[in-house]
Amino acid sequence: MSNLSPVGWFFYIITQLGSELFFILFLSFIYWVIDDRLGRRLLYILLPSVWLNSFLKDILQMPRPPPSQRLVSAEGYGFPSGHAQNSVSLWGYLSTQIRETWVTITCTILIILISISRIYLGVHYLHDVLGGLVIGTLLLIAYLKLEPRLAESLGKLKCIHKILISLLLPPIFILIPYYMFPHPISNSYLAAMGALSGASIGIILERKYLKFSVEGTLMRRVLRYPLGILILLIILLIIGKLGVILPILYTKYFILGLFISLLAPAMFQKLQL
């Protein structure tokens, strides 16, 4: 990676916009500072997209370009490109909710650049990226159509029933690939479903008891972010020291989702931020 050209470094930086760390930082910023409602909906489209991408890769088992062609390291199968698919899910949904021309143009450019970066860096073929873009688009269309109906149906359930669904359903979606495939992409399944379970439970409790809102002075809103991220990174660092066995990995991402959606907002309210 140290041998990257200036163009290579540009695309290396761009490709980080489709990484797990960026998603954590970006979603936390949206949720805590910009619009908590938008943050919730971004979580609900991005995390299932991560699971679906891993599932499709395990089914199709299409290889990446050979290591000799890669400018950066990459693991797992190639089709569909997770960066391309998840970028459409995240940036595509964002552009449908903030209906400003500059937002649409920016999101479109980011989706294109992130997709190109995967080809330039040699970790995906063209068909991997095109497949990711198509699947991401189909997922986005389905989410836009189904989310209002699903939200209405779930809204009629009692709080305890919604918590039980959030607690039990994601682990089932982890067991499915373990039953079907001898060597599933375990970390991706655990990350997506663990975070989804924690975030869903956090959102249910936050909506019922806290009713957190990003409203506040600019100074208070700005102060939330570094404080929340600092505590979040400390928590994840401590959990990371416990090992990488599957239950601990699931717990790590569960706490991540719970912190973003419930614990951090509760802390901000307590500190009057």
pLDDT in tens, 148-200: 888 888 888 899 999 999 999 999 999 899 888 877 766 889 999 999 999 99
Check 124, 127, 161, 183 and give the catalytic one.
124
Give pLDDT, residue 93. 96
Check 83, 127, 161, 183 and give the catalytic one.
83
How far apart are the two ends of the chain, measured CA to CA in Å? 41
Give pLDDT, residue 131. 96
Question: How much of the chain, in percent, has pLDDT values that exceed 90?
Answer: 67
**Which residues, 6 or more positions from 46, have their beta carbon under 8 angstroms from its beta carbon?**
23, 27, 86, 89, 90
> What mean pLDDT value characterizes the chain?
91
Report the distance separating Cα 60 and Cα 73, nearest Å: 21
Report the distance separating Cα 240 and Cα 235, nearest Å: 9
| pTM check: above 0.85 | yes
Q: Is the pLDDT of residue 125 over 80?
A: yes
Is 183 a residue of the active site?
no
Question: pLDDT-derived band of residue 1, with 50, 70 and 90 as boundaries?
Answer: low
Q: Is the pLDDT of residue 224 over 60?
A: yes
Is 161 a residue of the active site?
no
